[in-house]
Amino acid sequence: MPDTALASCSLTPGASELHALFAPRSVALVGATDREGSVGRALLENLCGFGGELYPVNARRSEVLGRRAWTSLTAVGRPVDLAVIATPAATLPEVIRECAACGVKGVVIISAGFKETGPGGVELERRVLAEARKAGVRLVGPNCLGLMSPHAGLNATFATAMARPGRVAFLSQSGALCTAILDWSFRQQVGFSAFVSVGSMLDVGWGDLLHHFGEDPDTGSIVLYMESVGDAAAFMEAARIVAAKKPVIAIKVGRTAAAARAAASHTGAMTGSDDVLDAAFERAGVLRVDTIEELFDMAEVLAKQSLPQGPALAVVTNAGGPGALATDALVRAGGVMAGLSVPTLERLDQCLPAHWSHGNPVDVLGDADAGRFTEALRAVAADPGVHGLLTVLTPQAMTHPLPVAQALIDVAQTTDKPVLASWMGGDAVEEARTLLNKAGLPTYDYPDEAARAWQFMWQRQERLRLLAETNRVACLERPTMSVAREIITGHRAAGRGLLNEAEAKQVLAAAGIPVLETVSARTPDEAVQAAERLGFPVVLKLQSRVIIHKTDVGGVQLDLKDEGSVRAAWSRVENAVPADAFDGVGVQRMVKDGGLELICGCVQDAQFGPVLMFGAGGVMVEVLQDRVLLLPPLSPMLAMDRVRRTRIHHALQGTRHLAAVDMDALTDVLVRLGDLVLAVPEILELDINPLVATAAGVLALDARIVIRA
């Protein structure tokens, strides 16, 4: 289970195990050849640019591409840090054994022909991994394009060019996408600290790579193209630790069922529910984007700019329309336009023409020169209610794009607040854009793009706060839930799978969750006894292992005010169903209407383990689908952050019909539910429906639990 073991809480991992892969002193290429058009030749040509030792290995040649070649790794006779392997899949177990014998520390397996070919390939993979594990050799691949380490001058791929050095580590599960991104990156002048095609992640996976680049001083941000999560626990642990230090931005294909099928069909990867993945990314502080364009936009801006200390953006513009565009985009992305203080407004009144916009966006008007821009920018940047600045320029008749850009750069140097720029247009603003970029100010073609980038920056800041809490909570010792565990163990011993309402509520009560007590009664006398203890009026509910929808068969009898009514109700329930479907009744207090009906529960996700669900309850629950997922362990703050994403959240704060509900009690239930399912993983499914919330607290009115047989 992710996040549960204390061992996984280390925030300072040691020197990276992957050092040999990305900063080797010596590299061997197994499968080097000069055959035209071959992968082995493309690899050799690329590796020739490497500054350290290079050992081409070819069983039948003493020279390849005019370089000396060795007939085997053993024949090299000198230390090899990294081996890049392009020989057929069947040779791999033997090659890895030889690598281990020669002290190779890292291996990149370019070769394909493993699990994607069927059971034989799966067995081959198993043998390769066993050899590597035995010797502590780390493997990238198989079935990949390879990797590049531009700062080390290492191009261990068969791509057609070397990436530019930069501060983005790009990790991709699609080799083809690597080649397209690489080609695109030259034109966009995007540079990389590493460029890794991860292949089928037989050994080195997302977790290892995140840890490595989290520690790598050359890496400012980490960008992932994911098709499958692989080892979810390792990913989650690495992500939450690394994302607290540098931005981790991911695009994960398979958002939709159809896309998931598309991805699965070509990687053989299993893809879990996308909603769970969203929740997991949020928890781990990974920013998820939807387009390749956003992926790199965000990587750039987050690596470049300091983060805002608050959400409020001010826009200074020489045209009203673009200012309104920026405002629209910001507010639609959930952002906040800064309100300007009275002193700021007064200062602007002094430096701007009378018909300036008198608010944010600050329209300095079409004839603004650099001086007027400067004064407005200074005034706005000084406002404590402004957390960042977007400056928009449209090239009008009186506009001088270059001096205004210089003015913005000067103002940016006097403030800690992030500064973004949108110089709109083409050639008329090109020189100014270049100047802004050189000064480290992110520029955008359109102000709406800039506003969305700002909102990403603020989300990143907010995530850091939640991430600190997540990492704190992950290190706490969690309750053992020994009483609940004992009850479950007892039911398992009795061969039970589905617990009835009374049994489920015992488990919840043991976990400290407020329940409306249900007493099982096997006879009318027991029912009357229970009613007298609980207090009239009561409700009788059919208990049955075969009938699920109790109400439909008349199995629920409401508002029973005395002993006589209870006995009469017993008979009605007993007579309503076949004798072998009748396992007695549950007796509980009659609760009058009132309070908000909520639903919460838990399922076991194949990848991420226990996942909680919270949302609106009632008969419309299936239609409204107003729910969020939560990954335990939780704290009240983490629970609250997720609850806030539901629509029903507005009702929790009070409506015309209802007082605001007790949020502490509600988040406490979610925290305890999380602790329960972490401590007792034998709980496969758990539903509380409804959980009724009022100003006085919350109460589980009905519940069911399914346990592992």
Residues 155-174 that bind its own copies (CB under 8 A): 158-160, 172-174
Element (H, E) at 159: none
Q: Is 42 in the site for its own copies (CB under 8 A)?
A: yes
Give the whole-angstrom CA distance, residue 283 versus residue 600: 19
* 184 binding its own copies? (CB under 8 A): yes
Which positions from 418 through 457 interact with its own copies, judged by CB under 8 A?
424-429, 445-446, 448-449
Looking at the Cβ atoms of 23 and 250, the one nearer to its own copies is: 250
Task: From residue 612, give the alpha-carbon distance in Å to each of 151, 299, 471, 652.
Answer: 44, 31, 19, 19
Site string for its own copies, 220-259 (x = CB under 8 A): -----x-x-----------------------x-xxxxxxx
Q: Are 302 and 247 in contact (CB under 8 A)?
A: yes
Report which DSSP code applies to 443: B
Cis bond leading into 578, ω under 30°?
Answer: no
Specify the residue, 7 or 397, whose C-beta has the smaller distance to its own copies: 397
Q: Given the complex with its own copies, which of 242 and 269 has the nearer CB atom? A: 269
Strands 67-68 and 388-393, by their bridges, are: unpaired
Q: Is 265 in the site for its own copies (CB under 8 A)?
A: yes
Instruction: Mention every residue, 6+ apart, whose C-beta is less than 8 A from residue 37.
Output: none
Segment contacting its own copies by CB under 8 A, of 466-474, 561-569, 617-625, 682-690: 617-625
Instruction: Give me the DSSP letters along 418-434.
Output: -EEEEE-SSHHHHHHHH
35 binds its own copies (CB under 8 A): no
Provide CB contacts within 8 A for 483, sequence distance 6+: 510
- Contact between 556 and its own copies by CB under 8 A: the answer reads no
Helices 663-679, 482-493: axis angle to 10 degrees equals 50
Site residues (CB under 8 A) for its own copies, limited to 275-304: 290-293
- The minimum distance between CB 23 and its own copies, in angstroms, equals 26
As measured in angstroms, the least distance from the Cβ of 158 to its own copies is 6
Closest CA to 104 of 72, 132, 82, 73: 82
Give the strand order in the sheet containing 138-140: 53-57, 26-30, 82-85, 106-109, 138-140
Q: How far apart are CA 515 and CA 359, in angstroms?
A: 53
Shortest Cβ distance from residue 156 to its own copies (Å)? 15
* 577-596 residues near its own copies, rule: CB under 8 A: none
CB 190 within 8 A of CB 220: no
Q: Closest separation between CB of residue 392 and its own copies, Å?
A: 9
Q: How far apart are CA 49 and CA 44, in angstroms?
A: 9
Helices then strands, counting H and E runs in the chain, come out as: 25, 30
Residue selected from 25, 78, 134, 358 as contacting its own copies according to rule CB under 8 A: 358
Cis peptide before 690 (omega within 30 of 0): yes
Closest residue by Cα to residue 610 from 667, 680, 546: 680
Stretch touching its own copies by CB under 8 A, among 66-74, 130-138, 205-213, 356-364: 356-364
Q: Which is nearer to its own copies, 423 or 570 (CB)?
A: 423
Three-state SS at 93: helix
In angstroms, the CA 246 to CA 199 distance is: 24
626 forms part of the interface with its own copies (CB under 8 A): yes
Q: Which is nearer to its own copies, 178 or 600 (CB)?
A: 178
Query: Which one among 35, 438, 592, 656 touches its own copies, defined by CB under 8 A?
Result: 656
Site string for its own copies, 84-123 (x = CB under 8 A): --------------------------------xx------
The least distance separating its own copies from the CB of residue 83, rounded to whole angstroms, comes to: 21
Q: Which is nearer to its own copies, 98 or 449 (CB)?
A: 449
Distance of CA 554 to the CA centre of its chain: 46
Looking at the Cβ atoms of 321 and 554, the one nearer to its own copies is 321
Q: Which is nearer to its own copies, 11 or 180 (CB)?
A: 180
* Least distance to its own copies, CB of residue 184, Å: 5
Residues between 311 and 340 that touch its own copies (CB under 8 A): 318-325, 327-329, 331-332, 337
Q: Which residue in the set 21, 44, 54, 177 belongs to the binding site for its own copies (CB under 8 A)?
A: 177
